Amino acid sequence: MPVQRFLFVLPILLLTTSCAAHRSISGGNGHFCALRGDAPYCWGQNGKGQFGTGTTTASAVPVRAAGKLKLQTIRAGAESTCGIDSKGASYCWGDNANGQLGSGSPKDASVPTPVAGSVVFAKISTGSTGTCALTADGQAYCWGDNGNGQLGQGNYDAPGKCLNGRPCALEPIAVKGDRKYRKIEANGGVRCAITVDTQELYCWGDPQFRQVGTGDTGPQQLPVLVGGGKLAFTSVAIGALAACGVASDGKPYCWGSQKWGELGVSKPAQTCHLSEDYACNPTPVPVDGNLNLMGVDLERGTVCGLDSKGQAYCWGFGERGQLGNGVNLNSYKPVAVSGSVRFRELAVGSGDVCGLSWVGKIYCWGQSYTNVPAALKLK
C-alpha cells in the first residue's frame, strides 16, 4: 500500500518511450513502482531510497532501479519497496527503520538488497513497520517490528532490535500455525492473509483503529479469524484507519475507523474512543451501494476497486482529487472514476492513485497531477 495540489483532477496517461508494456503496479505513501517487462521502475518521492537507484533524488517520471534487476512481482510500501525474481529470490530497498527490508541489518538501503535467509517466496507485501511474504505452498513469513505482535508469534519478542529500539526480526520468521494462505497484506501495524482452502480472512497485530476486524481492542499476537468465518474473501487491503476486502460474491466490505468515508457507509455502527473519537465498524460491514468488484486497494483513507469490466470506483479520502471523479471532495459512497479508460490493476497511494490499463499504460490522478486529462511523456 500505498502520497502539488489541484482543484479538479482526472486520470492522466503516463506514456513511455519503451515499447514494453507495464504489467504490474503498486503504490506506497509517496511513491509508485511498476514493472516494465521485468524491469522495476519507480517514481514520486524517494527520500529513503525507495526507488532503488542508489540516490534519494525524487522523480516525477519512472526511473529504473539499479543493478538490472529482473522481477516477477513488485510491491511498494510506505517508504520502501520489495520484489521477487523468477527464482523466488526476494529483494527490498528503502526505509529500514522497522526492519522491513529483512536484510539482516537495521540500515536503510538505496539499492535492491537481498532478503536474508534461504526461503523462496512467491508473493510479498511491505508496509511502514514490516513485511510479509508467502512461499509457493502458502506458508506465511513476516519480518520487521513486533511491538504489537505483527510477526504472528504469539508474543512481542523478536531476535533483534529496530533502530527505534522496538523488538524486530531483521530477517523472515514463519508465522505460527498450520494454515496455508493465498494472499497476504502488511501495512501499518496490521497483517492480514486469506487462506488457500476456505478463503477465510485472518488478521493480527495492532487493533488500535479496529482494522484487525474482530472487535478486539488488545493486540493480536496470532492470526485471528475475521467475520466469524461467515465470509470468504478474494482480496484484502489495509489503510491507516481501516481495512477493506472483497467477498467471494464480489461485494466489498470494510471495517475499522472512519475519518474520510473509507468504510463506505454513511453511519458506522459505533464510536471508537481512540486518540480522538472516530465512527467505526469493528467487524466487516458491506459498503453502501450495489457494487460487484474484483478487488480493492487502500492507502491512508482512500479506497479504490475494479469491476469485471475494468471500471474503477473510489471512495473515502478525496480532498486531493484521489477519487478521480473531477471534484476534490471526500465521499463515503463509491464514485466512478471519470473517463473511458478501463483498468486491470489499481494502486492507491496516500495522495494519488494510479491504474494500469488493459494495454499496459499507466494512468494517475490525485494531488501530484494536473486537473485535466493530459498525456505526460516520460523519458
50: domain CATH number?
Answer: 2.130.10.30
Give the separation between CA 224 and CA 50, rounded to whole angstroms.
32
- Is 186 inside a domain boundary? yes
Average pLDDT over residues 258-272: 90
- Is 190 inside a domain boundary? yes
Cα angle 178, 180, 185; round to 5: 115
Average pLDDT over residues 7-36: 69
pLDDT > 70? residue 18: no
Q: What does the pLDDT read at residue 207?
A: 85
pLDDT > 50? residue 94: yes
Q: Which band of pLDDT confidence, cut at 50, 70 and 90, is reported for residue 272?
A: confident
- Is 265 inside a domain boundary? yes
- Is 297 inside a domain boundary? yes
- Is 116 inside a domain boundary? yes
Q: What does the pLDDT read at residue 277?
A: 82
- Is 4 inside a domain boundary? no
pLDDT > 70? residue 378: no
Give how many domains the chain has, as a whole number.
1
- Is 6 inside a domain boundary? no
pLDDT > 70? residue 228: yes
Q: Containing domain of residue 128, as a range?
A: 12-377
Average pLDDT over residues 149-168: 92
Q: What does the pLDDT read at residue 1?
A: 43
Q: What does the pLDDT read at residue 16?
A: 41
Q: Is beta strand 73-76 parallel, antiparallel or unpaired with respect to 181-187?
A: unpaired
- Is 5 inside a domain boundary? no
pLDDT > 60? residue 371: no
pLDDT > 70? residue 310: yes
The beta-carbon contacts of 39-46 under 8 Å, at least 24 apart in sequence, are 39/64, 39/65, 39/68, 39/69, 39/70, 39/71, 40/64, 40/65, 40/69, 40/71, 40/74, 40/81, 40/83, 40/112, 41/65, 42/76, 42/81, 44/3, 44/349, 44/352, 44/368, 45/3, 45/79
Give the separation between CA 151 and CA 324, rounded to whole angstroms.
36
What is the phi/psi pair of residue 314, to 5°?
Answer: -135, 155
In the chain, the amino acid numbered 93 is W
Q: What does the pLDDT read at residue 7?
A: 28
